[in-house]
């Protein structure tokens, strides 16, 4: 039941982010079915994070232009490192995935999904790196 509440809260947060985000011209975003699939995966990542000693937070970054392919995933590892949140893990993985391209050059066309409202650190990193 807690995971369902967490999923609902995260989906509401995602919808708010989509409204606040300035759309990229001719950008096609993921549909509701894809969004639900991404959020279910984030909840699975959150469960994995707990199993690994972290807090229940999971994150992924998807590319809607590729039919909704998940590029990277992140889990909370704050039990080992206090700044290793799920969003930070995903953003760092994206930087490694995109090398030699810069995250800022590609990220405006990507979507970030997370199981909870990001903390100030993760929100700042998301805004700085993802657009």
Question: Given the structure tokens 């909704």, which residue do they identify?
Answer: 68
Is 2-21+29-130 assigned to CATH 3.30.43.10?
no
Report how far apart the first and last C-alpha atoms of the chain are (Å, whole number): 34
User: In angstroms, rounded to a whole number, what is the distance separating the alpha carbons of residues 103 and 69?
Assistant: 17
pTM given for the model: 0.79
Q: Which two tokens stand for residue 44?
A: 């699975």
Per-residue pLDDT of the chain (131 residues; tens, 9 = 90+): 555 555 555 554 554 444 444 554 556 899 999 999 999 999 999 999 999 999 999 999 999 999 899 999 999 999 899 999 999 999 999 999 999 999 988 888 899 999 999 999 999 998 887 66
DSSP string, 22-63: PPPTTPPPP-HHHHHHHHHHHHHHHHHHHHTTS-S-EEEEEE
- Asked if 10 and 116 count as a contact pair (C-beta separation under 8 A), the reply is yes
The residue extents of the domains of the chain are 2-21+29-130
Dihedral in degrees, nearest 10, Cα atoms 98, 70, 46, 115: 100
What pLDDT, on the 0 to 100 scale, is given for residue 47? 97
């Amino acid at each position: 039941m807690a995971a369902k509440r967490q999923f609902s809260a995260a989906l509401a947060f995602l919808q708010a982010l989509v409204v606040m985000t300035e759309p990229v011209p001719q950008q096609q975003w993921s549909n509701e079915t894809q969004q639900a699939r991404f959020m279910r995966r984030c909840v699975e990542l959150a469960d994995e994070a707990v199993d690994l000693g972290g807090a229940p937070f999971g994150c992924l970054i998807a590319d809607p232009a590729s039919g909704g392919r998940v590029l990277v995933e992140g889990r909370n590892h704050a039990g080992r490192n206090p700044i290793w949140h799920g969003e930070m893990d995903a953003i760092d993985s994206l930087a490694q995935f995109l090398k030699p391209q810069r995250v800022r050059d590609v990220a405006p066309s990507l979507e970030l999904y997370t199981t909870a409202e990001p903390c100030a650190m993760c929100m700042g990193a998301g805004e700085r790196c993802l657009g």
